[in-house]
Amino acid sequence: MTAGPVALTIAGSDPSGGAGIQADLRTFAAFGVHGASVLTALTAQDTRGVRAIAEVAPAFVGQQLDAVLDDLPVRAAKTGMLHRAPVIDAVVARLRARPLPHLVVDPVMVATSGDPLLEPEGIAALRERLLPLATLVTPNLREAEVLTGRAVTTVAEMREAARALVALGARAALVKGGHLAGDAVDVLYDGRSFRELGAPRREGRRLHGTGCVLSAAITAGLARGNDLAEAVAEAKRHVTRAIEAAPAGEY
């Protein structure tokens, strides 16, 4: 039995605990949400890089999803590292057959260290088949460039990328500006209007897993019944507090 709302993460494992499934479940708990998880890949990694990736069979990913959805009232889910097109297709098939109230797609392509986490053929699968199921997609600048095929280096270009992502089928897009010069600014577009969310930049910290935490926090907020703008704003505050509290180089 579970008490309270249920959120689901569909992502890879990070044995260092800073990103992936481990970070997502920790974030769900911080928001008072019961966390369920479906593993899509195993990694051997730490805060400095990814040493190896072990694949999870797409059919088994589907079986994990069936087990969770047969038993738990999932109010919101997020995807993180999906690694391969066949895994994306397995997830899409289940979520088309059993639509969830909310799906947050964190299009994880490259680790903070620069190591690739999504095979090239997976990019088209994510763009063409997973994005149309998304309540929200949360790319960083490089991911937004890959998904839209355009340069994204300024706030104005972030706005255009967000508009293009919604045109691809997502209901809303949050383009993260963590790699912009100056203060970090994220751009949220809900298909009707834009909103900019800023936060002061914190130097001297290795920001491992912040994208996972942000998307998990948004998912938790949606599971709790918050509207999208409220969920995004609270998630942004949560990540900012976590970075401020982390020792240099350890978050």
Express each pLDDT in 124-147 by its tens digit. Answer: 999 999 999 999 999 999 999 999
pLDDT at 250: 43
Least confident of 46-55, 65-74, 99-108, 151-160: 46-55
pLDDT at 205: 52
The full 3-state SS of the chain, as one line of letters, equals: CCCCCEEEEEEEECCCCCCHHHHHHHHHHHCCCEEEEEEEEEEEEECCEEEEEEECCHHHHHHHHHHHHHHCCEEEEEECCCCCHHHHHHHHHHHHHCCCCCEEECCCCECCCCCECCCHHHHHHHHHHHHHHCCEECCEHHHHHHHHCCCCCCHHHHHHHHHHHHHCCCCCEEEECCCCCCCEEEEEECCCCEEEEEECCCCCCCCCCHHHHHHHHHHHHHHCCCCHHHHHHHHHHHHHHHHHHCCCCCC
Residue 122 dihedral angles phi and psi, to the nearest 5°: -70, -25
Least confident of 26-40, 78-92, 146-160, 201-215: 201-215
| The token pair that represents 227 in the structure block | 């509207």
pTM, to two decimals:
0.93
Which CATH fold would you assign to the domain 6-245? UDP-N-acetylmuramoyl-L-alanine:D-glutamate ligase (3.40.1190)
What integer is the mean pLDDT of 213-226?
A: 97
Least confident of 77-81, 233-237, 243-247: 243-247
- Compute the radius of gyration of the chain from its Cα atoms: 16
> Could you give the strand order of the β-sheet that contains 6-13, starting from the edge strand earlier in sequence?
49-55, 34-46, 6-13, 74-79, 103-105, 136-137, 173-175, 184-189, 194-199
| The token pair that represents 229 in the structure block | 């703008």
What integer is the mean pLDDT of 110-135?
A: 89
Interior/surface letters 194-229, b for 16+ CB within 10 angstroms, e for the rest:
eeebebeeeeebebbbbbbbbbbbbbbbbbbebebe
What integer is the mean pLDDT of 95-120?
A: 89
Domain-by-domain residue ranges, the chain? 6-245
Query: Within a 10 A sphere around the Cβ of 6, how many other Cβ atoms?
Result: 20
pLDDT at 230: 97
